[in-house]
Amino acid sequence: MTDRTTGDHAPSGAKGPDELRRQIERTRSELGDTVEELAGKMDVKGRARARAADLRDKAGAMTVQLRSTAAQAGHTVHDKATQAGHKVQDRAVQAGHKVQDRAVQAGHKAQDRALEAGHKVQDRTLRAGEATQGGATRTGHELERRAEHSVPGPVRPLVLAAIRHPRPALIVGAAVIAVAVVSWRYPKK
């Protein structure tokens, strides 16, 4: 086993019970640090999913708001054109119809633009989410590769399992740490 801070090789056999206890405590500390680092890095995927869901929700809300605004503008123009048509005789009615038609066309154009903008935002959000998920996957693979090369042999399967399935590994790790703390704190006499 190589000490991570100095790079020196630790002696393989203990020269007494006190030295054995020190070696065990040092190994526990290193394992705890490794588990904490891995747990922090593995949460990237969860944060990426939450960010992608938030962006999708914002894009949907923006689409609804843009559609509502465009429809409201169309209705406002329609109402004004109708009022102008009632006030003026035949010419005013004809002018009102022309304005009304233009307003409907403008409303449709605005709705189309709002819909296009909504789709663009959704597409960008989807691409950002996919890129984030890809990054999280690459990070997971990199963690596995590093664990295979840098984690001591006896704990390597445990660390690799923790990378692949972080929640159960964190629960088991917490239980092991709790047992270790209790056994250290209240040793059998």
Q: What are the pLDDT digits (tens) for 102-155?
A: 888 988 888 888 888 888 888 888 888 888 888 878 887 787 777 678 778 787
Pair of tokens at residue 143: 């963690």
Report pLDDT for 13: 66
Report pLDDT for 60: 87
Q: Please check the confidence at residue 18 and state whether its pLDDT lies above 60.
A: yes
Greater pLDDT, 32 or 157: 32
pTM score, whole prediction: 0.31
Pair of tokens at residue 124: 């960008």
Please tell me which of 25-29, 60-64, 185-189 the model is most confident about, judged by mean pLDDT: 25-29
Nearest to 83 by CA among 104, 105, 99: 99
Please tell me which of 9-13, 97-101, 131-135, 150-154 the model is most confident about, judged by mean pLDDT: 97-101
Report pLDDT for 30: 94
